[in-house]
Amino acid sequence: MAAIPITLPEPLAGGHPSRSEPVSESVRLGPEVLIWRRAFSARPDQASGARRFARFLLAGTVFADDAELIVGELAGNAIRHTRSGPPDGHFTVEITLTSARHAALTAPASAVNVLITVYDLGGGGIPRFDDGGRHDSYEENGRGLAIVTALAARVGHQGTPAGGHRVWAYLTAPDSHPAHP
Ligand SMILES: Nc1ncnc2c1ncn2[C@@H]1O[C@H](COP(=O)(O)OP(=O)(O)O)[C@@H](O)[C@H]1O
Ligand SMILES: [Mg+2]
């Protein structure tokens, strides 16, 4: 099955969503691409709110479990490590689904790629995906992005500590092997 390639990362029209007013919306970019975007206030329970959002959108798909875990890690990082965390902060979760090439995306279950992005307000350091060796395997801290990396086909981040980061993970369905990605 040839998959619609997602160009990673795509600059968003209107700029970094977390720097503007919080928005919640769904956008269809043609028949093969569907985006959901939702802003969460930085209450402590909102990492689980973000997890439920991903679980709800991707229920019944092969992505549900991994996406829920990944969103929880990325949202937790936005709350814990950035200005998105204090009471007046917020972060934005964006889930982009694409279908097989030339196939309409009729339901989340027909998606073959999922791009998960969390936007934060910055204010601290830089997301570190490769902390290998700094922590032993029994330590809870410092492993979230390593787990995200293990689950995703690709991961990355853009942005700056001053302006905020977008941190993303790209998942592909197990049976989608694009011949010409
Ligand atoms: N959104 C982010 N903005 C700035 N720094 C981040 C962000 N996410 C992660 N980091 C940095 O990357 C490190 C590794 O993240 P992670 O693997 O999730 O470990 P932990 O959150 O337990 O420290 C964090 O300790 C933090 O310094
Ligand atoms: Mg973390």
Q: Which domains does the chain have, with CATH numbers?
A: 24-172 (3.30.565.10)
DSSP 4: P
Instruction: Specify the residue with its C-alpha closest to ligand 1, atom 8.
Output: 127
Mean pLDDT for back-to-back runs of 10 residues, the chain (181 residues): 52 47 76 91 88 94 96 96 93 93 86 95 91 56 90 95 95 71 50
Determine the 3-state secondary structure of 75 from DSSP.
helix
The ligand that comes nearest to the alpha carbon of residue 163 is 1
Mutate to test the pocket of ligand 1, among 69, 79, 81, 155 (most ligand atoms within 8 A of CB): 81
Residue 128 beta carbon below 6 angstroms from any ligand 1 atom: yes
Q: Alpha-carbon distance 34 to 37, whole Å?
A: 10
CA-closest candidate to residue 35, choices 136, 129, 117 = 117
Q: Is the CB of 164 under 6 A from ligand 1?
A: no
- The reported pTM is 0.86
Rounded-to-integer distance, Cα 36 and Cα 28, Å? 9
Residue 77, ligand 1, Cβ within 6 A: yes
